[in-house]
């Protein structure tokens, strides 16, 4: 088939981490090593007045964090790399969970000072559930951090995955001298350089090479002992175990100083999976299937505030996407043509003539798409596994300027279409409630409503425990909820009934009084229930 070679060239992955572990910095340095950019700007440097390439929302630049997944495509060693840089902050975890449905592998970044943190564990649980292959980078070796073996043990224990170091550090913090590459028997000497790439690598015949003593003196004994301990304690690296999600290769480095990144990138393109098959409502779709298919995993409004554009991000799963060709929008049962599909280097867009499985493209959208929508070459199925969760915090929307009601309506619709938050409308009063995972999302929503739509809002406290989507067979099944519990009954943006319980007791009472109704705290965007686990 004509697109087999193109499929074999694709590597699509996400970078995930706890906030401030260095994820966005690593993203930028991968672009630097690939040649996609020539100079890197440090995210938090005061000396370099340049924000990270992948952070393009103004509020991201101000706060130095990522709050939206960025899509970055670049070439490296004849591979087409599609990199999705995800939010690290827990308040935007749902965006990351959705992004993980669109990738075939991940790189997990861990701060050597802090080790495995809470958000890291949650993200890794999603990877385990999906059997997603994981590569680990233990970052910030130029800082005074924890013992490498202690970190490796913690990763295995807390993340429930076996590890195999492929590089190992010599020293840490002020004594950090570099890393030994156990695959190539070479040593990379550490030099702090935040902007450019420098190579200073010395090869050895083995860890027993006398040249080690000549190079490092008596310190070589400690390095030799550490490398031998790694070989003795950890399983030999197996690509099959890695692809099955059972074994994570580990690298050590400093993303800020461009160190240890080349080894990571070279190994990634060698071992990371090509585009994999996907589950649909009508069975498994292989990337080698001739007919085009793909799904929307993210929507973003106002990537370019000057043009107020709205972009739907589509992961291509099979066949070949061609510009100016009609494709079937399954949910709407309509055929649509896309004259200006785009690929991305962050906010920089390039017109795409064709795209292949593994690629992520942006389609200009005039309120046509919702997250989870499927495009096909005429077939009627939906891709499964795109999650929608109950929010954890609820606030009532208060419009501060009644003359801007239309702008507020439009802004709420677009921002909730992006998945930044969920909108619930009370059936009796038309009261609007925003549900989010974390408080920071309210700041982002308020900021973007004002800057992008000219609407000003306040969010007032609402006593709520959790939202539950209702599944029932007939309207009679929810008659009791409509009559006696209507103050807790809302509809979401798809007009599905949602019960927002004030407490766990209120939920238990509603379940008791409505035995024919299912109360679901997590569903899929295509209405297939998703069981996530802890």
**pLDDT of 392-428, one tens digit each?**
899 999 999 999 999 999 899 888 877 778 999 998 8
Contacts of range 506-510, beta carbons closer than 8 Å, 24 or more positions apart: 506/465, 507/465, 507/466, 507/468, 510/481, 510/485
Indicate the pTM of the whole model: 0.79
Between CA 128 and CA 100 the distance in angstroms is 11
Q: What is the average per-residue pLDDT within 226-241?
A: 94
| pLDDT value of position 20 | 82
Please give the residue that has the higher pLDDT: either 34 or 234: 234
State both tokens at 500: 């927002």
| pLDDT value of position 55 | 47
Has residue 59 got a pLDDT over 70? no
Has residue 66 got a pLDDT over 60? no
| pLDDT value of position 277 | 95
Between CA 352 and CA 323 the distance in angstroms is 7
| pLDDT value of position 273 | 97
CATH pick for 4-68+103-271 out of 2.40.128.50, 3.40.50.300, 3.40.190.10, 3.40.50.11740: 3.40.50.300
Domains of the chain: which residue ranges? Answer: 4-68+103-271, 278-376, 387-524
| pLDDT value of position 295 | 96
Question: In what helix (H) or strand (E) does residue 468 lie, and over which residues does it extend?
Answer: strand 466-471
Has residue 501 got a pLDDT over 60? yes
In this prediction, residue 276 has a pLDDT band, given cuts at 50, 70 and 90, of very high
In this prediction, residue 65 has a pLDDT band, given cuts at 50, 70 and 90, of very low
| pLDDT value of position 46 | 36
Q: State residue 443 phi and psi, 5-degree precision.
A: -65, -45
CB 148 within 8 A of CB 168: yes
- Fold match between 4-68+103-271 and 278-376? yes
Q: What is the average per-residue pLDDT within 63-73?
A: 53
Q: Which of 36-45, 239-248, 424-433, 448-457 has the highest mean pLDDT?
A: 239-248
State both tokens at 30: 């991968």
Per 3-state DSSP, what percentage of the chain is helix, strand, and coil (rounded to 5)? 30, 30, 40
Q: What is the average per-residue pLDDT within 334-344?
A: 89
Has residue 69 got a pLDDT over 60? no
SS3 at position 519: strand
Domain 387-524 has CATH 3.40.50.410: no
| pLDDT value of position 155 | 96
Q: State residue 71 phi and psi, 5-degree precision.
A: -110, 125
Q: Into which CATH architecture does domain 278-376 fall?
A: 3-Layer(aba) Sandwich (3.40)
pLDDT tens digits, one per residue of 168-218: 998 888 888 888 898 888 888 887 665 555 566 677 878 888 888 888 888
| pLDDT value of position 527 | 53
Task: Among 289-298, 421-430, 438-447, name the one with the lowest average pLDDT.
Answer: 438-447
| pLDDT value of position 111 | 94
Contacts of range 323-328, beta carbons closer than 8 Å, 24 or more positions apart: 323/351, 323/352, 323/353, 323/354, 327/292, 327/375, 327/376, 327/377, 328/375, 328/376, 328/377, 328/378, 328/379, 328/380
Has residue 344 got a pLDDT over 80? no
Average pLDDT, the chain: 84
| pLDDT value of position 200 | 62
């Amino acid at each position: 088939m004509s697109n087999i070679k193109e499929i074999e060239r694709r590597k699509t992955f996400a970078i995930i981490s706890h906030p401030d572990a260095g994820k966005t910095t690593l993203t930028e340095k991968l672009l630097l090593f690939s040649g996609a950019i020539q100079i890197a700007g440090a995210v938090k440097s005061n000396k370099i007045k340049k924000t990270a390439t992948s952070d393009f929302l103004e509020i991201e630049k101000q706060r130095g964090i990522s709050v939206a997944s960025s899509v970055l495509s670049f070439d490296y060693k004849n591979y087409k790399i599609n990199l999705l840089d995800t939010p690290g902050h827990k308040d935007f975890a749902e965006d990351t969970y959705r992004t993980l449905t669109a990738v075939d592998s991940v790189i997990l970044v861990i701060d050597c000072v802090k080790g495995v943190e809470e958000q890291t564990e949650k993200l890794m649980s999603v990877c385990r559930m999906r059997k997603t292959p994981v590569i680990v980078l233990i970052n910030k070796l130029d800082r005074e951090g924890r013992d490498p073996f202690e970190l490796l043990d913690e990763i295995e224990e807390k993340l429930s995955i076996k590890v195999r170091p492929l590089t190992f550090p010599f020293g840490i913090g002020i004594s950090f001298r570099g890393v030994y590459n156990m695959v190539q028997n070479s040593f990379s000497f550490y030099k702090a350089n935040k902007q450019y790439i420098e190579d200073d690598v010395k090869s050895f015949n083995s860890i027993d090479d006398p040249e080690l003593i000549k190079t490092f003196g008596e310190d070589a004994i400690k390095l030799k002992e550490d490398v031998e301990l790694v070989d003795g304690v950890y399983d030999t690296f197996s690509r099959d175990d890695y692809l099955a999600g059972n074994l994570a290769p580990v690298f050590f480095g400093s993303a800020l100083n461009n160190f240890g990144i080349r080894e990571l990138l070279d190994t990634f393109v060698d071992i990371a999976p090509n585009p994999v098959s996907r589950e649909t409502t009508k069975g498994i779709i292989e990337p080698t299937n001739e007919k085009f298919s793909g799904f929307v995993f993210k929507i973003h409004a106002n990537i370019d505030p000057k043009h107020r554009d709205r972009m739907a991000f589509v992961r291509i799963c099979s066949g070949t996407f061609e510009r100016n060709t009609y494709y079937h929008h399954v949910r709407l049962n309509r055929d649509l043509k896309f004259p200006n599909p785009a690929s991305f280097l962050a906010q920089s867009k390039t017109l795409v003539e064709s795209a292949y499985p593994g690629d992520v493209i942006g389609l200009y959208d005039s309120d046509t798409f919702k997250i989870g929508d499927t495009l096909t070459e005429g077939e009627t199925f939906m891709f499964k596994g795109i999650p929608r969760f109950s929010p954890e915090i609820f606030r009532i929307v208060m419009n501060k300027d009644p003359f801007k009601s239309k702008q507020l309506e439009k802004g709420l619709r677009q921002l909730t279409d992006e998945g930044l938050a969920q909108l619930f409308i009370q059936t009796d009063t038309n009261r609007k409630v925003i549900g989010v995972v974390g408080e920071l999302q309210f700041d982002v929503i308020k900021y973007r409503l004002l800057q992008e739509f000219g609407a000003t809002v306040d969010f007032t406290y609402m006593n709520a425990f959790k939202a539950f989507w209702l599944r029932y067979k007939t309207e009679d099944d929810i008659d009791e909820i409509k009559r006696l519990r209507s103050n807790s009954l809302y509809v979401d943006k798809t007009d599905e009934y949602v019960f927002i319980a004030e407490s766990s007791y209120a939920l238990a009472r509603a379940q008791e009084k409505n035995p024919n109704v299912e109360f679901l705290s997590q569903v899929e965007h295509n209405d297939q229930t998703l069981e996530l686990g802890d």
